[in-house]
Amino acid sequence: MIRKIQNALISVSDKSELEKVLRSLEKYNINLISSGGTYKKIKKLGYKCEEIAKYTKFKEMLDGRVKTLHPKIHAGILCNRSNKKHQIQMRRNKFKNIDLIIVNFYPFQNTALSKKNSNSVIENIDIGGPAMVRAAAKNFKDTSIITDKKDYGSLINQLRQHKGCTDLKFRKYMASKAFNLTAYYDSMISNWFNKELNINFPDRKTIPGKKLAQLRYGENPHQKSSIYINDFNDEETGLRKITGKNLSYNNYNDIYKGLEILSSFRQTGTVIIKHANPSGAAINKSPIKSFQESLLCDPISAFGGVVVCNFKITKKIAKEITNTFFEVILAKKFDKDALKILKSKKNLILIDISKFKERKNYQIKHFDGSFLIQDKNKKIFDLKNLKYVTRLKPNKQELKFAEFSMNVCKFVKSNSVVITNKFSTIGIGAGQPSRVDSCKIAVEKAKRFRSRKLKSSVAASDAFFPFPDGVKKLIKAGVKLIVQPGGSIKDKESIDIANRAKIKMIFTGVRHFNH
């Protein structure tokens, strides 16, 4: 079912690329109606156009808040051309059908990003535009709606193919895009209000997303996947890819896990991620040493992983990195010599994170028909609330080591046990249903790659030890300080074992499950 376009209403905030569609509309003798800046732009470009105030015989009012909100406009958009009663009413009121709407909205997001006062933000909440878009999208059987300048080319092709008309399939597809846009736009506004009012868990939560890219596939080749941006700035993520193949779902999953851990470091550090778990992490005044220590924790698991560091990659560090196969390297810039070395590795993805910033203070997990939201886990432990439960007490330096160990531990999939020496991981046990199995894995990793570092090491557990078997395993390996939340009915047994072994144990009272 094709529909002839005789009258078109154009009201756009973004006026770029408008001329190419005006040229096509003129070719098919389509009458133009417009207002404000769009009207002036159309006239300046040399095209005939009727101003909305003249068309409706109603001058805009309230500083432009009311101009398109008029029965002549909305009846023209919503009229069902197949309904005789509608046609009679239109003729009686001398209203014309409006067959095409081209609209984009006030720049609400840009205004919100610019941190102007709230009055400026509110004035950039578009009312008339979304009203017209929703009306046209509802009446897609008769009315065409264009909300994205990227679709100008498709409209022009329709007009050319159907000699000034559009077909039903096109109109319905454009309507779906239009409702996606109005939902997205309104969700941005509601989220701005929530942020202004510090409402973290509203009764109704909308999660907007703008598609950034179609990915090669999902976690597995038979799954389709895309990445969306959920932020007022929905044009880029802050991750600038310098070179390498397209990022995959798994790449992004690992990247964001690494960035989350890295953002918790207050010093120069490196994290190596494999399957969304750290295979190694270290902080060190020397950037190259932080990388080396991270790699040495588990050089086999690091193979094919993602390296995330908060410093500039130099030639020396680049040479060190290329001794191992990695998929992705993220850093705060790369010098020229480093780029030459790293670009020689086929398919290696290099990403500059200099402009990356954490944007959200919450996390979302989706299920089939529901989702969970929670605050991000920003806490490690509170020094004031620590309980020194063994006869031997840690000194200030050991407390810093314990803090580093627990900080890494909270990012590892539960059940998690992490063994560290000073500010480097030496053994990581991740994601086991049994905590004692996590202890075994962490110890085995440490013995295999960093056995000399086990002496006087620190072990962190994300939750309490339900039985003292895990504590025994760590003590036997050489751990001298254990930091854990505490709270098990078997705590006394664990403390007694620690005292007999003359090691130190701290209860934090803070659990760090990460499922």
**β-bridge mates for residue 101, sequence order:** 9, 145
Considering Cα of 475, then 428, then 513, then 399, what sign does the dihedral take?
Answer: positive
**Helix, coil or strand: residue 64:** coil
Helix-strand-coil split of the chain, %, nearest 5: 40, 20, 40
What are the catalytic residues?
138, 275
Cβ neighbors of 480 (< 8 A, separation 6 or more) are 455, 456, 457, 458, 503, 504
Answer for the pair 504, 392: CB distance below 8 angstroms, yes or no: yes
Which three-class secondary structure string do you get for 90-102? HHHCCCCCCCEEE
Cβ neighbors of 257 (< 8 A, separation 6 or more) are 273, 276, 277, 278, 411
CA distance 145 to 138: 10
CA distance 207 to 371: 11
- Among 209, 206, 271, 269, smallest CA distance to 234 is for 209
CA distance 442 to 298: 10
Which letter does DSSP use for residue 413 in this model?
P
Phi, psi of 355 (to 5 degrees): -100, 10
